[in-house]
Structure 1
């Protein structure tokens, strides 16, 4: 039914689990309700059938008592006992004294049968069914006929077992059905997502060579001419290259097989700063750093992506004459001048496609990537926006606390 190549991403797997969980939960409640209703009805039917059977036996016994009285049978009680040897019964007079006991198990404790009330009475006490009837009307001095039928302590244990086994079977079938239904519903979405991802990966792959060529050419041309216009071209090429790296990081994560290794964070951060110095110069932004030695075990591409996105974000959302400071000690801090970030918007910054300043070019991907990497490694990302002496300029601080 499903293609073996169908793969679900994290969000689709979560949707699948939520759907299956909701489906199974509601199905469980419904099946339990049906099972309890069935058990109630089955027990009621069994008890009603038992009462009807004992009532039929009592009616036949009553008729024979009346016949014995009317036809003056010799030793009527012994004759009745012989005829109804398969029954356990006792005959009581109006004073509730025993007239005759035929294998009745508790003839000396009949106080609970002496109550006045509508007859016949059907009782289930002490693992025994009792039927009490008074339709003899005093024939042979009998006022009450009591029939007794013992039953096992766990009378409905077999019924419970059968219902439980059926419940397990039905619930297992529902679970399998829910899984296949969820896969069936998600298949078109997964196929479309796969098609879009393939298209994006192909574009990213095809852009690699021309972007690299553009960047190399712009660098070489700027080194020869030192022309500010060429610097602008180089800065634009850097932004295109950075966007390509973000897209490549997003779409080629599953293909990467890089193993974590011990990284020199000071050297790695310094490399990322050096790569963006010309862009900072073009934007007229001061880029300074104060780095201490620190090592950490991680994949180099992950940490490089984290640092480069923080730096690019600090340069992009800055102003001419502003600054970017990079500090590395127990944590990594990227501090930049810029517009104030409302406190209510701080958490939203790390959501994909969220941008506070729509006039700035960008796609709202960078800080989302930073947050993903922090979650993957157990880092903590904190964002602050602090006022400066200039009421129009704030100091925005992005701190990454490394896990111990």
Structure 2
């Protein structure tokens, strides 16, 4: 059975969410740093590899230069460009124009002495003598297969170890940083629990004693003062009930019974009658008989009380509240301040308040949403600024 999570669970959930959000960002930054270091390491290893290849290619280039020299001297007798199975080569004049080439690539960078391109290694050397009019010679050899495999294996192995250790250290550091906040929240939680517990006895005492007073025996001025005390006490009582539900909902088991919704609505409207009278709010009802629901009576009462409380709290002086009950539908409308239609989707979020000119913590509609979710009820809010709000509960 789905119930609203208690405050402790919610705080732990938020702490866990914060922890994982930070770890994700922290891991992402660590990963970027490791990629940067890996790039530098790979580039360094690549340069070392090319420097190692440079010595061997230099020897091959000298062999080819000697062949070019021989061809240059005997050009009248033989005009065949020297070739070698170990490499391809090309010669270029001082204007970087190709004289002759056996290279696979047509675009050779003569400004780099050695580089890798398309799995080929290119070595460029400037000639001391202009054999056959050539100023530069380029050699092309195949890139050794899997020369970088060891580098990648090293990067993945050590990079993975460093990443895992860094994230693990970050996790424990964050847990240490969050501990003072967790302790402060736990202290606040215990304070709220103790405070709500201490509120219960005096509020119930006030309400019980007020109910024992016969209003007919009081003069109008005293009766008005008693009514104000009653209104204030009921407001505190509603707040106490909300806080108690938030804190203890995980321990509250549901005791479903058949509830006559017409009688329940009439009872709750009577409960809020003094609050309505204090703001001169006119209440209109259209309640069908024999509409019942199998539900926990305390929970449906809490759901209706929060909606009615908001209808009174955010209403205008001299406004109206209309309560309708039909088969599988309860609708409570008020002529109050309303809210922008774009904000209604956030109305059920805990601690969200769109009007701070009146009291409250923004927990009433979150309780409504939790109870509705538990019993599969659909709660819909329609509201317009300065026109009022309409809350519909259907099942």
For the aligned pair, the TM-score class normalised by the smaller chain equals 0.5 to 0.7
Q: Is the 8 A contact 1:262 1:295 kept in 2?
A: no
Asked if 1:266 is matched to 2:261, the reply is yes
SS at match of 1:289: strand
Within a 5 Å distance, the mapping from 1:16-27 to structure 2 comes to 16-27=19-30
Q: Deviations over 1:102-128 (max 9, x none)?
A: xx6457xx4x33445789965768867
Within a 5 Å distance, the mapping from 1:111-126 to structure 2 comes to 112-116=89-93, 122=114
* Structure 1: gaps of 5 or more residues: 66-88, 139-143, 387-393
Instruction: Specify the alignment match of 1:382 in structure 2.
Output: 381
SS at match of 2:213: helix
Instruction: Specify the alignment match of 1:14 in structure 2.
Output: 17
Within a 5 Å distance, the mapping from 1:41-190 to structure 2 comes to 41-55=44-58, 93-94=71-72, 97=80, 105-106=85-86, 110=88, 112-116=89-93, 122=114, 152-190=144-182
* Structure 2: gaps of 5 or more residues: 1-7, 97-109, 131-135
Instruction: Specify the alignment match of 1:335 in structure 2.
Output: 333
Instruction: Specify the alignment match of 2:312 in structure 1.
Output: 315
Q: 1:214 aligns with which of 206, 211, 216?
A: 206
Shift of 1:203: 1.0
Q: Provide closer, same or farther for how the CA distance between residues 212 and 224 of structure 1 changes in structure 2, counting only shifts above 3 A.
A: farther
Q: Output the aligned Cα RMSD.
A: 4.8
Shift of 1:215: 1.8
Distance in 2 separating the partners of 1:373 and 1:119: 72
Question: Scaled by the length of structure 1, what TM-score is found?
Answer: 0.66
SS at match of 1:113: strand
Instruction: Specify the alignment match of 1:365 in structure 2.
Output: 362
SS at match of 1:221: coil
Instruction: Specify the alignment match of 2:187 in structure 1.
Output: 195
Once structures 1 and 2 are overlaid, which stretch shifts more, 370-379 or 226-235?
A: 370-379
Q: Provide closer, same or farther for how the CA distance between residues 385 and 131 of structure 1 changes in structure 2, counting only shifts above 3 A.
A: closer
Distance in 2 separating the partners of 1:345 and 1:128: 61
Instruction: Specify the alignment match of 1:276 in structure 2.
Output: 272
Q: Is the 8 A contact 2:382 2:390 kept in 1?
A: yes
SS at match of 1:397: strand
Instruction: Specify the alignment match of 2:100 in structure 1.
Output: none
- Rg larger for: 1
Q: 1:324 aligns with which of 316, 321, 344?
A: 321
Q: Is the 8 A contact 2:50 2:114 kept in 1?
A: no
Shift of 1:51: 1.0
Q: Provide closer, same or farther for how the CA distance between residues 222 and 373 of structure 1 changes in structure 2, counting only shifts above 3 A.
A: farther
Asked if 1:235 is matched to 2:227, the reply is no
Paired residues, number: 354
Distance in 2 separating the partners of 1:282 and 1:126: 86
Distance in 1 separating the partners of 2:70 and 2:120: 19
Question: Scaled by the length of structure 2, what TM-score is found?
Answer: 0.67
